[in-house]
Structure 1
Amino acid sequence: MKSYLVTYDLIDGGDYDSLFEEIKEIASGHWHCLESVWIINSNLTASQINTRLLKTLDSNDRILVTQIHGPNTSWSRTFSDECRDWLKKNLHPVES
């Protein structure tokens, strides 16, 4: 299972509900503790995830899907315990 960062800009309001439902369908686990950012676990490739999510977007919306992992991951202490615990469990980072 790989972890991916998914971030997006939905222009002119966009259809957040459809995007969020597709993200949840793709993911075996997810983290959504920043407004326009999800981290998901999936067996799909970044390209496959992007292709599926693009179907929920308008032509002027933007999305970025990139694989993330391991010891080069860090975050602030201001996240909730739930958010930090998910990151620790799924990304094995160095917390700062």
Structure 2
Amino acid sequence: MESYIITYDLKYSSNNYDDLIDKIKNYPKWAHVNESVWIVKSNTSAEDIRNNLTTVINSNDSLFVGTLTGEAAWINVIDSNSAIKECF
């Protein structure tokens, strides 16, 4: 399973973040790092994750999905250290 970072910017305040967050939380392991930054573990590709998540955002919203490799360090993030460590 690979670790991926997901970050997004939904352009309009009327957008429903809940649908996007629900889709992210459907991955086997996930951690909420910052307001619009998540880490997930998945057997699928970054492109597959992007395609899955774009089903619940508008065409003008931005979305980035990238593979995480190597080490990471953090401070003052939303989720616990253990939740983030489980995604690596």
Shorter-chain TM range is 0.7 to 0.9
Higher RCO by CA contacts (8 Å cutoff, separation 6 or greater): 2
Structure 1 gap segments, 5+ residues each: 92-96
Please give the root-mean-square deviation of Cα atoms over the aligned residues, in Å: 1.7
Structure 2 gap segments, 5+ residues each: none
Structure 1 pair 47–78 and aligned structure 2 pair: CA distance change class (3 A): same
Question: Partners of 2:77 and 2:12 in 1: how far apart?
Answer: 29
Q: With structure 1 as the length reference, what TM-score do the two structures score?
A: 0.79
Question: Partners of 1:87 and 1:21 in 2: how far apart?
Answer: 18
Question: Partners of 1:46 and 1:63 in 2: how far apart?
Answer: 11
Matched positions, count: 87
Structure number with the higher helix fraction is 1
Percent of aligned pairs with the same residue? 33
Is 1:18 aligned with 2:19? yes
Q: With structure 2 as the length reference, what TM-score do the two structures score?
A: 0.86
